[in-house]
Amino acid sequence: MVPDIAVVDLLGLLAYGELTAFERLATDARMAPTLVDKIALASMAAAEFAHFETVRAHLLRIGVDPEEAMGPFVSPLTNFHNLTAPADWLESLVKVYVGDNIVADFYREIASVLAPDACALVLDVLADTGHAAFAVERVRAAIQANPTVAGRLALWARRLMGEALTQAQRVAVDRDALTGLLAGIGDLQALAEMFERITRAHTARMDSLGLSA
């Protein structure tokens, strides 16, 4: 059986997303203010790499070349990360927490239209790697110590969303099959509800950081 091109696209995007998340977390670990923070971030990076290997192994198992599957997403994901290189440790934490979670929410919605094995794989590699509690605790403490950083970080989060949407639109235009998966979610009403759910969860996360969405 030839694997569905939309599923291959989704898994290729997911795999390259995990690989770049690994690189980014490992690079950001260099900005960590303490050894404990550095180890926490490095440990999340290693967890992302394990997720990458899980998706890669799945692609090989269904007879797909992982590098080929990832190919179409190298440029949009590289652009996104180049345009949103954090200037400091707090920006990197906000990017990890806000960015990864909104992407994860989106994958979880899409996973519901996949075959059971692909769905289970996606949900498995999206398991929280400890980003959440760690980032929330550190960002809240920083805002408490110096409330003026809240404004800057809120702006930063909005810029992240803007750049992410720009790249997502590029991918949507280039990869018809992938966009086609959205049709599986339902009609326009169902899609609107999905985006509403994702936005609500994002706002709740910004709240938990102490930032206005």
Q: Is the Cβ of residue 42 or residue 119 nearer to a copy of itself in the bound state?
A: 42
Cα–Cα–Cα angle for 105, 200, 188, rounded to 5 degrees: 75
Contact by Cβ (8 Å): 38, 29: yes
User: Which CB sits closer to a copy of itself, 53 or 163?
Assistant: 53
Q: Work out how close the CB of 167 gets to a copy of itself at its nearest, in angstroms, rounded to a whole number.
A: 18
Query: Residue 3 or residue 72: which is nearer to a copy of itself going by CB?
Result: 72
Nearer to a copy of itself, 74 or 185 (CB): 74
- The minimum distance between CB 117 and a copy of itself, in angstroms, equals 23
H-run or E-run covering 27: helix 5-28
| Smallest separation (angstroms) from a copy of itself to the CB of 103 | 19
For residue 45, give Cα distances in angstroms to 58, 96, 134, 158: 20, 11, 13, 24
Q: What's the closest the beta carbon of residue 15 comes to a copy of itself, in angstroms?
A: 10
| Token pair for 108 | 């979880």
Smaller CB separation from a copy of itself, 43 or 179: 43
Q: What is the DSSP letter of 63?
A: T
Give the separation between CA 98 and CA 201, rounded to whole angstroms.
10
Taking the least distance from each CB to a copy of itself, the nearer of 77 and 149 is 77
Least distance from a copy of itself to the Cβ atom of residue 67, Å = 5
> Smallest Cα–Cα separation from 13: which of 59, 56, 73?
73
Instruction: Compute CA distances 166 → 77, 83, 161, 190, whole Å.
Output: 11, 11, 9, 23
Amino acid at 65: D
Q: Are 6 and 180 in contact (CB under 8 A)?
A: yes
- Least gap, CB of 105 to a copy of itself (angstroms): 25
Interface ranges with a copy of itself (CB under 8 A):
19, 22-23, 26-27, 29-30, 35-36, 38-39, 42-43, 45-46, 49-50, 52-53, 56, 67, 70-71, 74
